[in-house]
């Protein structure tokens, strides 16, 4: 007698509910922006990765429409078969110019860029060192590659050094992988120290600039530029879907690296090319990033403003260290985070509760945009104050 082989799924869901880990979608209507319609009600949007407010920008929309008219909707095949267009190459050149690297290659998402790159670079005989707080795409890329993977404590260079001195010699190649802006915390990786240690132990270094591109650095090139490390040998991954307001991912680096990935990254070779609309929108976004530094300046003004007001008026909130538009405050439990998230929503503020298993400690995650107005930030602080007085 066998039991129903699918019965465990419902039991598993029950466990997820019991732990307050259950996830569900919330419907947004209309254009993305600093305010959005959430389930029929206007709320101030602190939940978006659209840092520069480009996802609803009329220039990106116009570029995407024109590309659809000229190239159609689907790209019909992988880049190596029927899918490659001049527009893809234009976008790759623009990314390489923004990043000041020899070349770049675009993938259909940032997640796929990480999976494909890590699996192409290392295998069974190799070693990966991965920051404990890395994004899921880096962690799963490491698993998929088959390399021996060790997680080092978050941003802990000394721990990394100890692991390398003990184990580096047992492996052929070694790859260190890290977020540059940590997506659920908002702090930065110690890039100069990582580059130094990578050199010392002959390791490749891969950094994921998903939340940094368009946001950090003088020209918006990211964390690499922010730390003055432009031109150093490393592998930069990123997404077109955050500050660039489109969809897709990329890898930027040396000509040899990019040429190699076009031959070996399975998530590039065996998947359909980016659509014309996404490609054109991202290309327009990069031009805007380069031509309108005032957007980035406005974003950083908003960050400074919110941090200052929160420290003055809400000193009891446990703000996590951040050097990015991502600001989180910690809460004791997943249930507390959910309650505060709900209370904020009732007050017209959209800021998500982030819970395990995404992170180890529950929190509310606030992300700022260049298009937030002072009144938006004021209302956020008011809502947070009234919630923290209620719970005391």
Asked if 278 is part of the footprint of ligand PLP (rule: CB under 6 A), the reply reads no
The residue among 180 and 371 lying less far from ligand PLP, judged by its C-beta, is 180
Asked if 239 is part of the footprint of ligand PLP (rule: CB under 6 A), the reply reads yes
The residue among 35 and 48 lying less far from ligand PLP, judged by its C-beta, is 48
Backbone angles phi, psi at 252, to 5 degrees: -125, 140
Residue in 36, 52, 95, 111 binding ligand PLP, rule: CB under 6 A:
111
Nearest Cα to Cα of residue 288 among 201, 220, 212: 220
Binding span for ligand PLP by CB under 6 A among 55-63, 123-131, 150-158, 206-214: 206-214
Residue in 53, 141, 214, 249 binding ligand PLP, rule: CB under 6 A:
249
The residue among 57 and 179 lying less far from ligand PLP, judged by its C-beta, is 179
* Tokens of residue 355, six digits: 């819970």
Asked if 250 is part of the footprint of ligand PLP (rule: CB under 6 A), the reply reads no
- Stretch 20-39 residues interacting with ligand PLP (CB under 6 A): none
Nearest Cα to Cα of residue 268 among 140, 112, 102: 112
Render 196-250 in DSSP notation, one character per residue. Answer: HHHHHTT-EEEEE-TTTTTTSSTTS--HHHHTT-TTSS-EEEEESSSTT-S--EE
- Stretch 137-196 residues interacting with ligand PLP (CB under 6 A): 137, 179, 183
Asked if 267 is part of the footprint of ligand PLP (rule: CB under 6 A), the reply reads no
At 335, is the secondary structure helix, strand, or coil?
helix
Residue in 241, 322, 324, 361 binding ligand PLP, rule: CB under 6 A:
241
Task: Give, to the nearest 10 degrees, the angle between helix 136-145 and helix 110-121.
Answer: 30
Minimum distance between the CB of residue 139 and ligand PLP, rounded to whole angstroms? 10
Asked if 210 is part of the footprint of ligand PLP (rule: CB under 6 A), the reply reads yes
Which residue in the shown chain puts its C-beta closest to ligand PLP?
Answer: 110
Asked if 50 is part of the footprint of ligand PLP (rule: CB under 6 A), the reply reads no
Quick one: 40 exposed, middle or buried, by C-beta within 10 A (0-12, 13-18, 19+)? exposed
The residue among 111 and 350 lying less far from ligand PLP, judged by its C-beta, is 111
Residue in 79, 85, 99, 135 binding ligand PLP, rule: CB under 6 A:
135
CA–CA distance, 136 with 359 (Å, rounded to integer): 11
Binding span for ligand PLP by CB under 6 A among 33-41, 96-104, 107-115, 228-236: 107-115
Asked if 322 is part of the footprint of ligand PLP (rule: CB under 6 A), the reply reads no
Residue in 32, 53, 110, 325 binding ligand PLP, rule: CB under 6 A:
110
Binding span for ligand PLP by CB under 6 A among 58-66, 89-97, 203-211, 323-331: 203-211
Task: Considering only the C-alpha atoms of the chain, give the largest distance between any 2 of them, rounded to a whole number of Å.
Answer: 69
Nearest Cα to Cα of residue 317 among 298, 332, 300: 332
Q: Which residues lie across from 352 on neighbouring strands?
A: none
Cα–Cα–Cα angle for 283, 288, 292, rounded to 5 degrees: 165
Asked if 211 is part of the footprint of ligand PLP (rule: CB under 6 A), the reply reads yes
Contact positions vs ligand PLP (CB under 6 A):
109-111, 114, 135, 137, 179, 183, 208, 210-211, 239, 241, 249
């Amino acid at each position: 007698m066998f039991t129903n082989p699918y019965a465990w799924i419902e039991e598993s869901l029950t466990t997820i509910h019991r732990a307050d880990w259950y996830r569900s979608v919330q419907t947004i209507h209309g254009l993305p922006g600093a305010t959005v319609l959430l389930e029929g009600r206007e709320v101030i949007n602190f939940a978006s990765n659209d840092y520069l407010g480009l996802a609803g920008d009329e220039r990106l929309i116009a570029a995407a429409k024109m590309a659809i008219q000229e190239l159609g909707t689907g790209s019909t095949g992988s880049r190596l078969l029927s899918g490659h267009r001049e527009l893809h190459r234009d976008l790759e050149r623009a990314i390489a110019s923004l990043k000041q690297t020899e070349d770049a290659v675009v993938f259909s998402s940032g997640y796929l860029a990480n999976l494909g790159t890590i699996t192409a670079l290392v295998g069974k005989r190799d070693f990966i060192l991965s920051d404990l707080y890395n994004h899921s795409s880096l962690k799963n890329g490491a698993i998929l590659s088959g390399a021996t993977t060790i997680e080092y404590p978050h941003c802990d260079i000394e721990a990394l050094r100890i692991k390398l001195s003990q184990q580096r010699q047992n492996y052929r190649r070694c790859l260190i992988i890290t977020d540059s802006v940590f997506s659920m915390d908002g702090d930065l990786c110690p890039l100069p120290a990582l580059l130094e240690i990578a050199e010392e132990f002959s390791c490749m270094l891969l950094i994921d600039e998903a939340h940094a591109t368009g946001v950090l650095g003088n020209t918006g090139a990211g964390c690499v530029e922010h730390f003055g490390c432009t031109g150093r040998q490393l592998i930069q991954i990123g997404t077109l879907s955050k500050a660039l307001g489109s969809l897709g991912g990329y890898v930027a680096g040396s000509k040899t690296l990019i040429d190699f990935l076009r031959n070996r990254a399975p998530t590039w070779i065996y998947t359909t090319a980016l659509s014309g609309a996404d490609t054109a929108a991202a290309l327009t976004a990069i031009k805007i990033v380069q031509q309108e530094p005032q957007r980035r300046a406005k974003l950083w003004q908003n960050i400074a403003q919110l941090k200052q007001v929160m420290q003055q008026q809400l000193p009891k909130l446990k703000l996590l260290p951040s050097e990015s538009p991502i600001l989180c405050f910690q809460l004791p439990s997943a249930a507390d985070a959910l309650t505060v998230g709900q209370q904020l929503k009732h007050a017209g503020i959209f800021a998500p509760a982030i819970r395990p298993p995404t992170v180890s400690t529950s929190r509310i995650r606030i992300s700022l945009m260049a298009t937030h107005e002072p009144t938006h930030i004021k209302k956020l602080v008011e809502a947070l104050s009234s919630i923290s007085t209620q719970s005391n």
